[in-house]
Structure 1
């Protein structure tokens, strides 16, 4: 065996030992606490709740590294709001994998600089997907909220209690409201008060209309009053607001599409030209003032996109 092979084996063993040492030194995390964090019950676990049998967790090291950089909570909230069935460790592994694939493709076609650019684009894809998924879920929830409130008002007037009415909503309403109300039911079954469970749901869906509903329910629990009449008035207001919002979206659809095309077309052409003709953009990265041109172009594209989005973002 040659000396280079022996050195390579020793370096590999050293890196493996380093990672294993880091994994052993990092403090463990109770999986029960992780599973119940979305229900706001971590204090219950710390105050003497019965610990369940620990289950194996994939990509635990990556999740701990993300937590060390302060990204675990943000990514967990993003995954929860987008309703993506991934853990933080799995999402971190996905990001690293996409970055590696993007860098390899770009480096083979246009060198390390192009590889870094492609890796950045590939790394941005999961965040873009989850943001779009979160926006669609938010819009779908806002569109079905008037019907949800109508069913809730009918249940209350039929003699159901609030908890029973929410159970009915979890069974009868379509997605995404069904999943959110099922989480409320699970939170209540684990000992969380109804008001707190609804407040956590409002934080997940990020809907101003539902915030108004939660406020009305909380005030009614504290002060009393005819909750069904209050919710009926809120439902009528929300229904009219949704109608106006849909009209605004129809009138601004062309402008929003124009902004997306104008912002994405230069990036798409730059990546395509880099693959078709490697080295085409090398003069822009030579020493001197040409290096500033890509930065100026990217800044102008971003400013134009933000201006267009601001113009068409009409509050209703």
Structure 2
């Protein structure tokens, strides 16, 4: 038999959707599985610390060895780069703070800490300005910034243990605030400690804030048995620092020269500023290793935006390692080929020339090949998308067993979507799986699966319900005008069915399409009252059901149908006016409910942006997680209760 054009188009749209899903899989899966292999060449033994995009641009980087070849690209355009100059030999003043923990608790480690600090100063370049502070028993400046290293070493070797606790955070803050115009890479804080902070008036967060504002590098050497995660976080927010906690006393002294070597391996590279306005992305290749940073013109840019490109951890999906390399590319090409074939098939269906209904019917009898065509269509060929048919039939069976098929069909009809329930559910399953895959690739881990998976699960039903509700509201708003027009046609001498057909051609959708469907069903033999009841149920409209009931009563008891329809239309107009009045009166309550519901969430985001350390306890501590869950539950209950109070049905 001849397939109706709208059915063919619907199948074409569905095939196009499946092709898009397969194309996403073809593009995403091999890239995700090959990510580990491609990242091996991106491990950078260098760090980009700062880009100065002012009148005389330059950048500061730190490498393990003196770079021999440097190339700089701005927005992909190569620029002239000068020979790297050690920062200590440039015009930039290198300022280094040495902070030693000489508290009474660290007395047994004081000697190796002093030895490490002395070794640092001994190996420092002669131009490096070094200031020495102690944090035991109180923060004390021993000697200000100077390049008389012999004098500084003498002061360091004469440090003795002090009574009292370790004021590490106070020492970090005061010493960094003593720096003059610090430059990233040239502002260093070297901490030698054997005990955690236990006496500061400043918090760890304030110390981190000071380091961030100065764009300083923190090198923290911690001896002893007691360590603190706050010390490591202090290093993490700094510019290219490091944290070390050796096991024994004898290992401490050797770290002084190591830190000095790292600080001395910081370089200034001047480059031409001709291409600065071409973009805001800078790539610098250091001996074959590429670092990337973003910058703003006429400013200095530093911090995490200039971090080196480092290799991510293994990203191979468990159990799918066999898809790596050539196998993964082969699978991707196969999926891409199938997706292309489905796209071609769907576009052929979508854009084929429509035949008129009469030509299509007569063609079955006049075309000698039509019978063969019908036989082919009834066969088991792939021309009828056997795979899609089986997938749709499978999902339809599951939905029918769970009682969701009829609800889905009603919702799709109300939203005026040309999809069968089985087709929509098959597409929904595809969207959910694609969302999980995209979340795994773009975000990664459990958060990516949770966020994108939740969107894939909740968003399609929300969109369909939104479309259905919007169409139903428009249908109800058209009802009074429809009844008035129908009453006018009856007064003009039309019969009820003639009047309904005339009104269906004049009024806009969705009312027009529903009336045309009622007329078509009545012409096919269905009682008009039954067709109207089905339309009221389909559109979920109590008002239309009431109008249908009035028509039924009139047909049973008689009377003037035209006057009855006018009365019903007037009543519905008054009800709509009352609905709007109630909506106006409850608008303040609705807005209050929205504000009160979103206020805790918004306040939480603001607090997290201002002080992440303060709010992070709610996500890391067990009690914090319980309190956060209880608070979110209370917010949800309160919002639901307020919504119930202001939701007045008319």
Q: TM-score, normalised by structure 1?
A: 0.70
Residue in 1 aligned with 2:500? Answer: 166
- Aligned position for 2:573: 239
For 1:193 and 1:175, how far apart are their aligned partners in 2?
23
| Structure 2 contact 618–627 (Cα < 8 Å) conserved | no
Q: Which runs of 5 or more residues in structure 2 are unaligned?
A: 1-320, 328-376, 379-383
1:252-291 equivalence runs, <5 A: 252-260=586-594, 263=597, 284=619
> What whole-Å deviation, never above 9, does each CA across 1:281-314 have from its counterpart, x for those lacking one?
897588x666655653443333223223222222
How far is the alpha carbon of 1:217 from its aligned partner? Answer: 0.7
Q: Per residue, is there more strand in 1 or in 2?
A: 2
Q: RMSD in angstroms over aligned alpha carbons?
A: 3.5
Alignment gaps of 5+ in structure 1: 9-52
Q: What is the distance in 2 between the residues matched to 1:102 and 1:260?
A: 29
Partner of 1:66: 399
Match of 2:640 among 306, 309, 313: 306
Distance in 1, Cα, partners of 2:549 & 2:514: 17
Which residue is 1:202 aligned to? 536
Distance 2:603 2:439 in 1: 15
- CA displacement, residues 178-217 of structure 1 (integer Å, 9 cap, x when unaligned): 1211221222122210010011111112222212111111
Deviations for 1:237-284, whole angstroms, at most 9, x for unmatched residues? Answer: 11111122123323434543554565568789999x9xxx9xx98975
Corresponding position: 1:227 with 2:525: no
Partner of 2:474: 140
**Which of 550, 559, 584 is residue 216 of structure 1 equivalent to?**
550
Q: What's the offset of the Cα at 1:67?
A: 2.4
Q: Does the aligned pair in 2 maintain the 1:142–1:242 contact within 8 Å?
A: no
Matching residue of 1:91: 424
The 8 Å contact of residues 518 and 535 in structure 2, kept in 1 or not, is answered as yes
**Cα distance in 1 between the residues matched to 2:506 and 2:630:** 53
Call closer, same or farther: CA 1:176–1:77 in 2, change over 3 Å. same
Instruction: Pick the aligned partner of 1:192 from 512, 520, 526.
Output: 526
**Matched length:** 263
Aligned mate of 1:116, from 450, 461, 467:
450
Residues 93, 225 of structure 1: CA spacing in aligned structure 2 closer, same or farther, 3 A cutoff?
same
Structure with the largest fraction of helix: 1
Query: How has the CA–CA distance of structure 1 residues 135 and 289 changed in structure 2, closer, same or farther, with 3 Å as cutoff?
Result: same
Distance 1:285 1:106 in 2: 23
Larger Rg: 2
Q: CA deviation at 1:172?
A: 0.8
**Change beyond 3 A, Cα 1:257–1:81:** farther
Partners of 2:617 and 2:417 in 1: CA distance: 40
The 2-side partners of 1:77 and 1:136 are apart by 15
Shift of 1:94: 2.8
Question: Residues 112, 83 of structure 1: CA spacing in aligned structure 2 closer, same or farther, 3 A cutoff?
Answer: same
For CA contacts below 8 A with separation 6 or more, give which structure has more relative contact order. Answer: 2
